[in-house]
Amino acid sequence: MSTLFVTATGTDVGKTYVTCALIRALRAADRQVRAFKPVVSGFDPAEAEASDPGRLRAALGADAPPLEQIAPLRFAAPLSPPLAARMEGAYLSLNQLEALCRDQMGDDGLLLIEGAGGVMSPLTDTETNLDLIERLAVSVILVLGSYLGTISHTLTAMEVLKARSIPIAALVMSESEDAPDLAETAAGLSSFLPGIPLLTAPRNADGWDASGLARCLNL
Ligand X SMILES: Nc1ncnc2c1ncn2[C@@H]1O[C@H](COP(=O)(O)OP(=O)(O)O)[C@@H](O)[C@H]1O
CA–CA separation, 214 and 80 (whole Å) = 30
Say whether residue 16 binds ligand X (CB under 6 A).
yes
The least distance separating ligand X from the CB of residue 146, rounded to whole angstroms, comes to: 9
Nearest distance in Å: CB 106, ligand X: 25
Q: Which of 12, 47, 49, 88 binds ligand X (CB under 6 A)?
A: 12
Please say whether the beta carbons of 81 and 89 come within 8 A. no
- What, of ligand X, Mg ion, none, does residue 86 touch, CB below 5 to 8 Å by kind? none
Q: Is 37 a catalytic residue?
A: yes
Q: Does 175 bind ligand X (CB under 6 A)?
A: yes
8 binds ligand X (CB under 6 A): yes
Q: Is 43 in the site for ligand X (CB under 6 A)?
A: no
Q: Minimal distance in Å, beta carbon 12 to ligand X?
A: 4
3-class DSSP assignment, residue 178: coil
Q: How many CA atoms lie within 13 A of 88 on its CB side?
A: 17
Going from the C-alpha of 186 to that of each of 51, 58, 159, 161, the distances in angstroms are: 29, 29, 18, 20
Q: Any contact of residue 37 with ligand X (CB under 6 A)? A: no
Tally of CB atoms within 10 A around 99: 11
Note whether 109 and 1 are within 8 A (CB).
yes
Write the DSSP assignment of 132-174 as a string of letters.
Answer: HHHHHT-EEEEEE--STTHHHHHHHHHHHHHHTT--EEEEEEE
Choose among ligand X, Mg ion, none what residue 57 binds, the Cβ cut-off being 5 to 8 Å by kind.
none
**Residue of 15, 37, 55, 74 marked active site:** 37
Please identify, using beta-carbon distances, which residue of 12 and 125 lies nearer to ligand X. Answer: 12
Active-site residue list: 37
Footprint on this chain of ligand X (rule: CB under 6 A): 8, 11-17, 174-175, 201, 203, 208
